[in-house]
Structure 1
Amino acid sequence: MSANPVQYAMIVRKSLFSLLLFTIVFYNNMEAEAQKRIKFPAAYVVNGGSNTISVIDLKTLKVRKTIQLPNTDCLPHHISLSSDRKKILVAMPEFDFTQSHNLLHQATDKKGGVIAIDAQTGKVLLNLSLPKPNFNAVFSNDNTEIWSAAATHSGQMHVFDANTGVQKAIFSLGADPTQIIFSKDGSHAFVALEESSFILALDTRLKQIKKYIKVDPFPTNVWAGNNGNIYVENKNLKAIAIVNESTMETYEFVDINFKPGQIAYNQLLNELWVCQAEDNKVTYFERKNNAWVLKSTIETGQDAYAITFAKDEKTAYVVNRKENTVSVIDVTKHQKMTDIPMGTLPNGIVLRE
Structure 2
Amino acid sequence: MFRSLLMFLLMASNLGVVSCSSSNKTDTASPTGTASINYDAFYVVNGESNSISVINSKSAAVTATFPLTGVTYPHHINLSPDGTMLMVGAPGMDFSGGHDGSMSTMQGSILMLDAMTGAIMKTRKLDGMAHNAAYSPDGTEVWSALMTMPGKLLILDAQTLATKKTIVVGDMPAEVTFSKDGKYAFVANGMSNNVSVIDVSTKAVVKTIAVGDDPVGAWPASDGLMYVDNEKGKSISAMSASTLTVVRTYDLGFTPGMATLAPSGELWVSDADNGKVSYFMKGSTMKMGDITVGSGAHAIAFTRDGTMALVTNQLAGTASMIDIGSHKVMSTITVGKKPNGSIFRSTSVNSLVE
User: TM-score with structure 1 length normalisation?
Assistant: 0.85
Contact 1:53 1:67 in 2 (8 A): yes
In the alignment, is the contact (CA less than 8 A) between 1:278 and 1:305 conserved in 2?
no
Work out whether residues 196 and 209 of structure 2, in 8 Å CA contact, stay in contact via their aligned partners in 1: yes
Taking the aligned partners of 2:193 and 2:63, their CA distance within structure 1 comes to 43
- CA 1:316 to 1:212, structure 2 compared with 1: closer, same or farther past 3 Å? same
Which has the larger share of strand?
1
Change in CA separation of 1:121 and 1:320 when aligned onto 2, cut-off 3 Å: same
- The AA in structure 1 aligned to 2:126 is L
Aligned length, in residue pairs: 315
The reply on whether 1:273 has 2:268 as its aligned counterpart is: yes
Residue 104 of structure 1 aligns to a residue whose secondary structure is coil
CA deviation profile, 1:135-187 (whole Å, cap 9, x unmatched): 11100011100110011221101111101222111121120111110112222
Contact 2:41 2:344 in 1 (8 A): yes
- Within 5 A, what are the aligned runs for 1:296-311? 296-311=289-304
* Residue 286 (1) aligns with residue 281 (2): yes
Please state if 1:262 is matched with 2:258: yes
Higher helix share: 1
The AA in structure 1 aligned to 2:70 is N
Deviation, structure 1 residue 252: 1.0
Is the Cα–Cα contact under 8 Å of residues 170 and 196 in structure 2 kept in the other structure? no
Q: Which residue of 2 aligns with 1:38?
A: 37
Asked if residue 350 in structure 1 is aligned to residue 343 in structure 2, the reply is yes
In structure 1, the residue matched to 2:115 is: 119
8 Å CA contact 2:216, 2:230 repeated in 1:
yes
Give distance in 2, aligned partners of 1:42 and 1:219. 29
- Distance in 2 of aligned mates of 1:43 and 1:190: 24
Counterpart of 1:63, as a letter, is V
When residues 100 and 79 of structure 1 are mapped into structure 2, their CA distance, relative to the original with a 3 A threshold, is closer
Given candidates 166, 182, 194, the residue that maps to 1:170 is 166
Structure 1 window deviating more from structure 2 (36-45 vs 92-101): it is 92-101
Over the matched positions of the two proteins, sequence identity in percent amounts to 36
Q: Which residue of 2 aligns with 1:48?
A: 47
Q: Which amino acid aligns with 1:125?
A: M
Structure 1 gaps, min length 5: 1-32
Alpha-carbon deviations, 1:224-275, whole Å to 9, x = none? Answer: 22331100111222211110101111111111221111111123x3211100
Per-residue Cα deviation, 1:320-339 (whole angstroms, up to 9, x for no partner):
01111110011111111110
Going from structure 1 to structure 2, the CA distance change for 1:197 and 1:50 (only over 3 Å counts) comes to closer
In the other structure, the counterpart of 1:64 is 63
User: How far is the alpha carbon of 1:35 from its aligned partner?
Assistant: 8.0
CA gap of 1:239–1:315, structure 2 versus 1, over 3 A, is same
Q: What is the distance in 2 between the residues matched to 1:112 and 1:257? A: 32
Q: Show the counterpart of 1:317.
A: 310
Q: Go from structure 1 to structure 2 and tell me whether the alpha carbon gap of 1:131 and 1:55 turns closer, same or farther (over 3 Å shift).
A: same
Q: In terms of mean alpha carbon deviation, does 300-309 or 212-221 score higher?
A: 212-221
Q: CA deviation at 1:43?
A: 0.9
- Cross-structure match for 2:179: 183
Q: What is the SS of the residue equivalent to 1:56?
A: strand
Decide whether aligned partners of structure 1 residues 61 and 291 sit closer, same or farther in structure 2, where only a CA change above 3 A counts.
closer
- Choose 140-149 or 161-170, whichever is displaced more: 161-170
1:185-204 equivalences in 2 (<5 Å)? 185-204=181-200
Gaps of at least 5 residues in structure 2 are 1-31, 347-354
Q: Distance in 1 between matches of 2:170 and 2:332?
A: 39
Query: RMSD of the TM alignment (CA)?
Result: 1.8
Give the secondary-structure state (helix, strand or coil) at the position aligned to 2:306: coil
How far the C-alpha of 1:102 sits from its partner, in A, is 5.9
Cα shift readout 1:21-76 (whole Å, capped 9, x = no counterpart): xxxxxxxxxxxx9983211111111100111111111121111111111214x210
User: Quick check: 1:93 aligned with 2:109?
Assistant: no
Residues 11-30 of structure 1 aligned to structure 2 (within 5 Å): none
Contact 2:74/2:88, CA 8 A, preserved across alignment: yes
Distance 2:208 2:33 in 1: 48
Larger radius of gyration: 1
- C-alpha separation between the residues in 2 aligned to 1:184 and 1:146? 16
Runs (4+) off by over 3 Å = 33-36, 98-103
Point out which structure has higher relative CO (alpha carbons under 8 A, 6+ apart). 2
Return the offset for 1:347.
0.5
Aligned letter for 2:130? N
- 1:125-136 equivalences under 5 Å are 125-136=121-132
Measured in 2, the distance between the counterparts of 1:104 and 1:234 equals: 16
Alpha-carbon deviation of 1:100? 6.5
